[in-house]
Amino acid sequence: MIKFFRHIRKKLADDNKPMKYLRYAIGEIVLVMLGILLALQVNNWNENRKVQKNEIKLVKQLLEDAKADSVFFESRVLFQKIRDTLFNDIINVSKNISVDSISKRRVNDNPFFFRLAYQSNLINNNPEAYDLVNHDAIKNKLRDYKVKYNYVVHSIELSNRITEQYGIPLQIKYHDETQRLGDNPAVQDLSYIIADKKAVATLEQFRIYGVNFLIQLQQFLIVNQELILMIEAYLEI
């Protein structure tokens, strides 16, 4: 293409011999400028394609990690609901408001001590995602995602600390009684806990802190699902 323009410019310059060299020089400058502009345009186009390709790759990774977070934190919700039921059963029996179905319900977890694990694949695997994604709606949702996740982290860490501080002493105190229960005892078999008002009060506190992180988990999972749907729409899945 540059050769074509050069041919036209040379022909125009030859039509006026006195101005030939001036036109030739000006033409050379114009051609060089056109060549530079064309090269810059091609380079920008290639860079934009590269950036877009990398962004698509990143967004696909975000989708995969968000789905993994969904599965993991749903399991945390289920875990807390089971513990909440256990605490409620013990508290209700201690207040003589139990019913037959509660007293016969099986216990499949240690009521005194647990430590809830947490981790976000999306947060851990993509620390620079917010800066690299150009899609405004996804960027905003990523910001909300991190905020909600931080609430989850704080609530779980608080619950874990309370459990360690007050649960371990009870676990030690009732070690022998717990060992004699065997696997999957009924709630009514936990009479040694039910008769201990301090132990029941401690479990009530465990339940309160557990409800707090359950709420934070559920709010986080709402944002998680919103992000998944947004990314799927962006990728046209």
For the CA atoms of 144, 145, 146, 150, the dihedral, rounded to the nearest 10 degrees, stands at 100
Distance from C-alpha of 51 to C-alpha of 134, rounded to nearest angstrom? 10
Give the SS3 label for residue 182: coil
pLDDT tens for the chain, 237 residues long, are 555 545 555 555 555 555 655 666 676 677 767 777 776 776 666 555 666 787 889 999 999 999 999 999 999 999 889 888 888 888 888 888 766 666 667 776 777 877 888 899 999 999 989 888 989 999 999 999 999 999 999 999 999 999 999 999 998 999 888 888 777 788 888 888 989 999 999 999 999 999 999 999 999 999 999 999 999 999 986
DSSP letter, residue 15? T
Distance from C-alpha of 155 to C-alpha of 59, rounded to nearest angstrom? 29
184 phi/psi in degrees, rounded to 5: 50, 55
Q: What is the reported pTM? A: 0.76
Tell the burial category of 48 from Cβ atoms under 10 Å away from its Cβ (0-12, 13-18, 19+). Answer: exposed
